[in-house]
Amino acid sequence: MIRNNFNKKVWTGSVKKNAIAYGAISVASLFVFLIVIGMVLWAVCKHFLLGEDIPFIQIYNSGTAEYWGQIGDFIGGTLNPVLSFAAFMMLLINYLKQKRDSEGNEINNIRTLNNHRFFEFLKLMHEAARGVEVDDPEEGETLRNHRGLGRAWNIFKRMEPKKSDNTEPPIFLELNGRYRVWRSKYWPAIGSYFELSLFVIDQYVATKKDINDFSEAPDKLYFLAALRAQLTIDERSILLYEMMNSKRWHTYLTDLHANGFWYDAEYILADRVTALINIAVEFHAEQSS
């Protein structure tokens, strides 16, 4: 729905602008043509019906062959440029229309290709999830696929700090430390799935820092919604912590969160996600300075 509404808005605006431009050219051409035709008819009627001279072409004798030659030269000399101009304008309009259609087809082809590649990556993510195996020593069982990813998140939640309502930098650093310990153990089993997720975000969702900037990728919010539907709540929670601990991926946190990517996710300090993200962004900014 997001993609369809946006495409409708973009194409409607484009069609309106082109229609106004072509309409203005057509009206101007018709106006000039009618003026010239009116001048020709006025000149002929003035000389034939009223018997008056036409000063600017100096026709004085209506009974000679020379007169008819003058009339023919006048009409032909006047209409030929007008008709040539009208033909040129028609060619120009046709060229602009073909150019617009060609650009529209090119955009549609690019979007079709991007959509195809995007969903191929989602398939690859699904295949990566099928290869996940997570051992839970406390429960004494091994879980696979998305259940294994969910269990990996539950194992991390057991490591949460006691004061889970605190979002000050010390608790953030403690969470990051615990996450790194957890990651070193479980990332070999689940990493490929989340690496693909981050690649999709980088290539199809966050081609610019501002997701709402449609100048380069008008389907970004559509891709974001599709990716969000692909990931479970637990998987998006793991993705949140992976991005908070990354010098590269943390730059996408604010815009993803603003567009509802984590609004229903179950994560440690669930009611403090915005504060956590802000602390993560400030932390990495200080580390870079």
Same domain for 254 and 159:
yes
Least confident of 103-117, 141-155, 203-217: 203-217
Same domain for 198 and 148:
yes
pLDDT for the residue 178: 86
Same domain for 142 and 240:
yes
Domain residue limits at 26: 2-112
Residue 154 maps to a domain: yes
Same domain for 234 and 172:
yes
What are 54's strand-pairing partners?
59
pLDDT for the residue 11: 44
Where residue 195 falls among pLDDT bands split at 50, 70, 90?
A: very high
Token readout for 89 is 């304008």
Tell me the CA distances in angstroms from 149 to 28, 64, 187, 189, 269, one per residue in order.
67, 102, 10, 9, 20
Residue 163 maps to a domain: yes
Task: Note the pLDDT tens digit of each residue in 157-181.
Answer: 887 655 544 555 666 677 778 888 9
Residue 119 maps to a domain: no
Same domain for 267 and 187:
yes
Work out how many domains the chain is built from and give that number.
Answer: 2
Better pLDDT: 52 or 110? 110
pLDDT at 261 > cutoff 80: yes
Last residue of a domain, one of 112, 146, 168: 112
Question: What angle do helix axes 169-200 and 273-288 make, rounded to 10 degrees?
Answer: 90
CA distance 105 to 108: 5
Least confident of 121-130, 155-164, 279-288: 155-164
Where residue 69 falls among pLDDT bands split at 50, 70, 90?
A: low
Over residues 188-213, the mean pLDDT reads 79
As a whole number of Å, the end-to-end CA separation of the chain is: 42
pTM to 2 decimals? 0.62
Same domain for 148 and 25:
no
Instruction: Identify the burial level of 106 via C-beta atoms within 10 angstroms of its C-beta, where 0-12 means exposed, 13-18 middle and 19 or more buried.
Output: exposed
Better pLDDT: 45 or 154? 154
Same domain for 93 and 136:
no
Residue 74 maps to a domain: yes
Residue 69 maps to a domain: yes
